[in-house]
A and B are shown apart, each in its own frame.
Chain A
């Protein structure tokens, strides 16, 4: 794989903060961004004057109902008077914004960068999904009036058919993640539910049912990245960004293998190669895969090469992905449990690794002193994989 390996500086995460994820926040989008940014700065004792540049992530402008939403949010993200850039790769934005922050620092341009992701989906009526009605090809698909659930239903069914999986095999992800979220103070949909609850929930577009899906949410998350020298001045416990990777598949979903996210594998291989990881299943101790739907977590664990193709459900049933399992997956509670303010949800996964690898995750703490973690998000036209590997 062709990417630069030399001349890049080491980059650490040195601080993190997040708002609660809620169904409808009274705060404006700018105020949500401010709360998360302020918490991240306070977590490592920095002032806004110490920040060299701001990287911001937010998903479609239509959610907040503000065109040029990145610029609108910039004051709340502390970007006033600073170099500023918004990243947008749909649902993959949360992890990509960290990749963007990483190259701002790795390149040598900046010593400290504030990365902020915000989403306020509640403002979008009648439902944020309406913002996605126009992602489909306007002549070959839109006359059929497709919505986003069609993609997930077709993908989930293809995955189930290919490997002979049942709905029950997949529902266990929703049960695990909503239970993990019970220990997250910012969680929106934490719950003790059963596989039967999932199977009995309202059918939306078969095989997708209500409890297979993450909620719409409002919230913001921020992290602070620093160069090696700066990180060592700021904290005794820097969490290094060991590597990053991202990859885009065809814009036409008809041209993709819907049972396997090839683009996630490519993004993961880039990150593993950059980090010198040869055996991901042994060298990754904790993983936060993107879980907007329960089957997506399994899909992504396979794409990340952390489970053989079609076998993530079996490993899940064996408890491998439990918080005290061999490879804890989504110990935060994820999008299914903590909530899914799109860009902020992806960055929440990076923040979770930061807390987990520093041993600061409280009741969510994964046992056994995990030293290496992977966060992944997915998005654009359901075709981008974004990966960051963190370690201590």
Chain B
């Protein structure tokens, strides 16, 4: 049928279906350590004994020299906002009543960083370079997920 004969898209004969798959993701060898650490309220990073770099989130291998990351190090859960955004729409295109603050947080001595929600602060007050700290959910609510971190918030002075 020539394209110019169609005056409305509904006139094109169509057929609907989907690709019916789900996926089950293992957290992996490094992930097992990292997520068990979160359940204990700890941030664990992988340290490469060959080139001395430390990775968060941790990987089994060093992204620099490709050795096996042989050592685990607990990181002080204090970081710095590298960049942030204020999200106004959800995935279904609904306008959020309370816009969501999302930040990339970097930690001293670590390669990488964490993407997470920023809480206990107004959007207008957020600044790049601001010191923040990780807030874990109460121990009984943790389930070995990245959401065991409730959010990050401005570092309290104490």
Q: Which residues of A contact B (CB under 8 A)?
A: 24-28, 30-31, 34, 37-38, 41, 47-49, 62, 64-65, 75-76, 78, 80, 122-126, 130-131, 133-134, 138-139, 142-143
Contact = CB atoms under 8 A, between A and B. Distances in A.
A65 B66 contact: no
A134 B31 CA distance: 33
B21 A75 contact: no
B19 A28 contact: no
Interface of B is mostly: loop
Contact residues on B (Cβ < 8 Å of other chain), bracket: 20 to 34
Given A28-B31, A31-B30, A75 B63 contact: yes
Contacts, number: 81
Contacts of B59: 30, 75
Counting chain A CB atoms within 10 Å of each CB, the highest count among B25, B27, B65 belongs to B25
A26 B66 contact: no
A133 B23 contact: no
Contacts of B27: 28
B61 interface: yes
A131 B63 CA distance: 31
5 contacts: A25-B26, A75-B59, A75-B63, A125-B23, A126-B22
A41 B66 contact: yes
Contacts of A125: 21-24
B20 interface: yes
A38 to B, nearest CB: 7
B28 A138 contact: no
Contact of B66 (A28, A78, A126): A78
Contacts of A75: 59, 61, 63
Interface string B68-91: 100000000000000000000000
Interface of B: 15, 17, 19-32, 59-61, 63-66, 68
B60 to A, nearest CB: 5
A340 to B, nearest CB: 18
A26 B28 contact: yes
Nearest to A131: B21
A138 B19 contact: no
A130 B20 contact: yes
A41 B64 CA distance: 15
A142 B123 CA distance: 50
B63 A26 contact: no
B63 to A, nearest CB: 5
B21 A142 contact: no
A28 B23 contact: no
A48 B66 contact: yes
Contacts of A123: 23-26
Nearest to B21: A130
Nearest to B16: A138
A246 B122 CA distance: 60
A80 B63 contact: yes
A62 B25 CA distance: 12
A41 B25 CA distance: 28
Counting chain A CB atoms within 10 Å of each CB, the highest count among B28, B31, B59, B65 belongs to B28
* For the complex of A and B, 3 pairs with smallest distance between CB atoms: A65-B23, A28-B28, A48-B66
Given A26-B32, A28-B25, A142-B17, 13 more contacts: A26-B28, A28-B31, A30-B59, A31-B30, A34-B60, A38-B61, A48-B66, A78-B66, A80-B63, A123-B25, A125-B21, A125-B22, A133-B19
A251 to B, nearest CB: 18
Contact of B61 (A47, A76, A126, A142): A76
A198 to B, nearest CB: 30
A133 B65 contact: no
A87 to B, nearest CB: 21
Contacts of A26: 26, 28-29, 32
Contacts of A130: 19-21
Nearest to A37: B66
Given A31-B60, A34-B61, A38-B61, A134 B19 contact: yes
Given A28-B31, A30-B28, A124 B63 contact: no
Contacts of B65: 47-49
A76 B62 CA distance: 9
A130 B22 CA distance: 9
A189 B64 CA distance: 36
